[in-house]
Amino acid sequence: MSDALAQIELIVQRIADVRSVSPNVCPYHDLGISGDDAFEMLEEIGKRFDVSFAGFQFDRYFPREVEALGEHFSRLLGRRPKRERLTIQHLAYVVERGAWFAPEPRSD
């Protein structure tokens, strides 16, 4: 495991208040990180690793605070989240590259 991946996992664990995460975990889809918490996570990763998130479209991956509750209830009703998946592993790849790039679209 790379040092960046391990540090990102610790950041996500702290923000989500969970004991452990894996590289395939999506902070929003799997842990419910959204709004200000998602912004804080990305900001901390950017500062810690001197990574630019220029061009990152927040709303593609995370709901804002006011949207999060509605999306949570939609998920409880069995609806799939409308946000794209962003894994912890992909955030580590962004750190390795030094700048934001979008993950490959999933075909499921």
Query: Strand pairing partners for 99?
Result: 52
- Residue 31 is classified by DSSP as T
pLDDT of residue 78: 67
pLDDT above 60 for 71: yes
Fold of 3-97: 1.10.1200
Where do the structural domains in the chain lie, given as residue ranges? Answer: 3-97
pTM of this structure: 0.86
Residue with tokens 């989240």: 81
pLDDT tens-place string over residues 27-39: 998 998 999 999 9
pLDDT of residue 42: 97
CA angle 94, 104, 100 (to 5 degrees): 25
Confidence of residue 106 (pLDDT cuts 50, 70, 90): low
Residue with tokens 């702290």: 14
